[in-house]
Amino acid sequence: MTPKQMWADFCQLHPEIKQEMDAWAFGVLPDELAQLVLEGTKTATASAYDLYSIEQEPIPEAGSYDVVLDGQGQAVCIIETTKISVVPFNQVSADHAYKEGERDRSLAYWRQVHEDLFTQWLAEAGITFTEDSKVVLEEFRLVYPC
């Protein structure tokens, strides 16, 4: 299903929602991570804070909705952001890593994967990643299909 079609179907069920559609895919493994959302295993994600200003995009807000895409750009589901926080990389909690739902759900695994990704992505933007680099932590819930 296309993102526009899923968004239209969702808004028809929820006419009180007035925001524009926002659609995106999760990082490097969009199909696998979207599946974890559908299964209820993945209820959080993280992104590099500095990339928002470089890309001139606002930081997500609690109460906003997003269409999650697969690797082919097709709509998988819609999530509602329930909590946003910004913390230094070295202060991301084991609880948050667990909510991200990936592999063994450990903080050690989360740090390994995200340090590699953030180092690469920030370097492409001309920024050096450090343990103090800010991270946007987002918690969400699956709202469609439900």
pLDDT of residue 28: 87
Segment 16-27 shows an average pLDDT of 95
CATH number of the domain to which 23 belongs:
3.10.400.10
Provide the whole-model pTM: 0.94
The partner residues of 86 in beta bridges, in order of sequence, read: 136
Residue with the bigger pLDDT between 86 and 53: it is 86
Q: Write down the H helix ranges in 29-139.
A: 30-39, 49-54, 94-100, 107-124
Confidence of residue 146 (pLDDT cuts 50, 70, 90): confident
Segment 19-29 shows an average pLDDT of 94
Residue 39: strand, helix, or coil: helix
Confidence of residue 67 (pLDDT cuts 50, 70, 90): very high
What is the number of domains present in the chain? Answer: 1
CB neighbours of 55 closer than 8 A, spacing ≥ 6?
Answer: none
Could you tell me the residue range of the domain that residue 45 belongs to?
Answer: 3-144
Q: Write down the H helix ranges in the chain.
A: 3-13, 30-39, 49-54, 94-100, 107-124
Mean of pLDDT over the chain: 97
Confidence of residue 143 (pLDDT cuts 50, 70, 90): very high
Segment 12-30 shows an average pLDDT of 95
Could you report the per-residue pLDDT of 93-135, keeping only the tens digit for each? 999 999 999 999 999 999 999 999 999 999 999 999 999 999 9
Q: In the predicted model, is pLDDT for residue 35 greater than 90?
A: yes
